[in-house]
Amino acid sequence: MPSFREIVTPETLIRPEIRALHAYHVPSSSDMIKLDAMENPYLLPTELRDELARVIADAQINRYPDAGAQRLKQRISSVAGLPAGVEVLLGNGSDEIIQLLALAVAKPGAVLLSVEPSFVMYKMIAAFTGMEYVGVPLAEDFSLDLPATLDAIARHRPALVFLAYPNNPTGNLFDADAVRQIILASPGLVVVDEAYYAFASASFLPSLQQYENLLVMRTFSKLGMAGLRLGFLAGSRIWLEQLEKLRLPYNVGVLPQLVAEMLLAHHDVLLRQAEQIKSDRSWLYERLVGTVGVYAYPSEANFILFRVAHATRVFEGLKQRGVLIKNLNGGHPALADCLRVTVGTPEQNEQFMAALQASIHQTI
Ligand code: PMP
């Protein structure tokens, strides 16, 4: 006798909050000047690329990676200057670490709190892991609204707070004292996400030992290694040993481990590129500020947020001229008519500015 069952569909099987999500959109960028994703625009110097080729040639890709990645972790501790007693957990990009943290605390009803607008993955990962999400609006100038944030913390008792420092997509560093008050007032963990640390003038790494509920997360994506997928979380062993249980054993492959280890031995080269990007950021900011019809926000990251009338038309005009940036218009209401441009090479920045002026002109 054949047995019958009801046809299974995504509507009956997939959790409604997942069906309601939109997948993280990565636009196609072939043949365009790519200034949409905060990548470092520079290739490595030839000597380093040659060294890389040798490292890869000798890599034992028939073996699983070192699950503990001890050598890489030591190198990270030393280049980041981690205080004694501070340990490191590695992620396949820092996105994966956000997910690990959420998975670890996602008891029924547990809350993940962040500010808005900020990095969209905090909210998405709260949905992936079944956490409640609370987004506290930033002030109009994108600084922290401290009374509103403290009030939301008191009301929602979040298990996890994420603060991007500098913030994406606004580019600013929040007031450090306000961040400290949030750490002190939080009943759960506070993760300061320093994805853009290489371009910023301040860090919470030196404060790690002062607060038992503080963790600092960084990524190497913006420092020229976006393709490797490597991020880390720094903090006390009591937290990291719990998170380690959720980390899939071989989440950082043999090649990313070896390549990152080698590149971090040349951290000075990467930091020099970051310095160049910082100085080009000043150039780009001045040019944006001097452009009629553009309001640019100061940035401590490798991108600049700016507001312009008819942003979507300007964005399309840039695309027609071969320049891809990020259109934030239509997302969060505080980002109406906002666009975000990653700092590129000096030539790319010039090409972007010329294309922007032509696109603005076209929309008038
Ligand atoms: N945090 C912030 C604030 C970001 O902007 C990004 C990347 N856009 C990430 C984390 C994730 O970076 P990755 O997964 O490449 O390490």
| Residues 306 and 315: beta-carbon distance below 8 Å | no
Pair (315, 174) in one structural domain:
no
Pair (100, 213) in one structural domain:
yes
In whole angstroms, give the CA distance from residue 211 to residue 337: 39
Q: How many domains would you assign to the chain?
A: 2
Pair (220, 261) in one structural domain:
yes
- What is the reported pLDDT for 1? 55
What is the block-wise mean pLDDT of the chain (364 residues), using blocks of 10 residues?
Answer: 80 92 82 95 94 96 94 96 94 97 98 98 96 98 98 98 98 98 98 98 96 97 94 98 95 96 95 97 98 97 98 97 96 96 98 97 84
Does the residue 322 lie in any domain? yes
Does the residue 5 lie in any domain? no
Tell me, what CATH number does 39's domain have?
3.90.1150.10
Pair (62, 152) in one structural domain:
yes
Q: Which of 241, 266, 291 is the last residue of a domain?
A: 266
Angle at 306 (CA atoms; ends 116, 334), nearest 5 degrees: 30
Nearest to 198 by CA among 297, 257, 141, 271: 271
Q: Which of 266, 293, 311 is the last residue of a domain?
A: 266
What are the respective helix, strand and coil percentages of the chain, to the nearest 5? Answer: 45, 15, 40
Does the residue 186 lie in any domain? yes
Pair (321, 305) in one structural domain:
yes
Pair (247, 217) in one structural domain:
yes
For 73, 142, 153, 159, 165, the CA distances from 148, given in Å and listed in that order, are 38, 13, 9, 18, 19
CB count, 10 Å around CB of 50?
11
**3-class SS at 8?**
coil
Of 89, 118, 193, the one to substitute when testing ligand 1's pocket (max ligand atoms within 8 A of C-beta) is 193
Pair (87, 160) in one structural domain:
yes
Q: Is residue 169 in contact with ligand 1, taking CB distance under 6 Å?
A: no
Does the residue 15 lie in any domain? yes
Q: Is residue 95 in contact with ligand 1, taking CB distance under 6 Å?
A: yes
Does the residue 107 lie in any domain? yes
Any idea how long the chain is?
364
Pair (300, 217) in one structural domain:
no
Pair (154, 238) in one structural domain:
yes
Nearest to 219 by CA among 250, 188, 237, 198: 198
Tokens of 229: 């997928």
Pair (273, 216) in one structural domain:
no
Tell me, what CATH number does 77's domain have?
3.40.640.10
| Residues 156 and 148: beta-carbon distance below 8 Å | no
Cα 72 to averaged position of ligand 1 atoms, centre (Å): 20
Amino acid at 70: Q
Pair (18, 130) in one structural domain:
no
> Domain range spanning residue 356?
10-44+268-363
Cα 219 to averaged position of ligand 1 atoms, centre (Å): 7
Does the residue 202 lie in any domain? yes
- What is the reported pLDDT for 67? 87
DSSP 108: T
CB count, 10 Å around CB of 98?
27
Query: What's the distance, CA 352 to chain centroid?
Result: 23
Does the residue 252 lie in any domain? yes
Q: Using CA positions, which residue lies closest to atom 7 of ligand 1? A: 195
Residue with tokens 């027609």: 320
Cα 342 to averaged position of ligand 1 atoms, centre (Å): 14
Of 38, 168, 199, 220, the one to substitute when testing ligand 1's pocket (max ligand atoms within 8 A of C-beta) is 168
User: In this structure, are strands 189-193 and 326-327 parallel, antiparallel, or unpaired?
Assistant: unpaired
- What is the reported pLDDT for 2? 62
Pair (85, 221) in one structural domain:
yes
For 26, counting Cβ atoms within 10 Å of its Cβ (0-12 exposed, 13-18 middle, 19+ buried), the class is exposed
In whole angstroms, give the CA distance from residue 186 to residue 300: 26
Does the residue 314 lie in any domain? yes
DSSP element (H, E) containing 111: strand 111-116
Tokens of 78: 């030393």
Q: Which of 266, 288, 319 is the last residue of a domain?
A: 266
- What is the reported pLDDT for 322? 96
* Model confidence, pTM: 0.96
